[in-house]
Amino acid sequence: MNAMTDDWLDIGALTDIPARGGRVVKTPRGCLAVFRAADDTVFALDDRCPHKGGPLSDGIVHGHNVTCPLHSLVISLETGAAANPEEGRVRTHQVRVAEGRVLLDPAALRS
């Protein structure tokens, strides 16, 4: 079981994110994209595609992947890596869901 509890940041309800969709969270070090897959797993990544910085939060979510809206790079939500690893990787952050709330690891705010 997870030991960390109180210091995780409550960023909203799970139902605030459409299933197979993403939302933006603003932080001091730029935007994060928080996704909810069809199976209700939640992921957080930097909202910048490794290719040319496309906003991943605007992409199409399929399985545990998102397709970048600008030039269709497919990024794994679990690892942040592009389908072809040579095309780069996005930083991922810890998130979890408890009692219907989405909790973000505060480490995501630090560079």
Alpha-carbon distance values, 61 to 10, 20, 32, 48 (Å)? 23, 5, 15, 15
Report the residue from 29, 71, 78, 83 that binds ligand FES according to the rule CB under 6 A: 71
Q: How far is residue 25's CA from residue 2's CA, in Å, rounded to a whole number?
A: 23
Q: How far is residue 32's CA from residue 20's CA, in Å, rounded to a whole number?
A: 16
Report the residue from 16, 19, 52, 83 that binds ligand FES according to the rule CB under 6 A: 52
Under the rule (CB under 8 A), what is the footprint of another protein? Answer: 1-2, 7, 9, 11-12, 16-21, 23-29, 31, 34, 37-41, 52-55, 58-65, 67, 69-70, 72, 74, 76, 78-79, 81, 102, 104, 106, 109-110
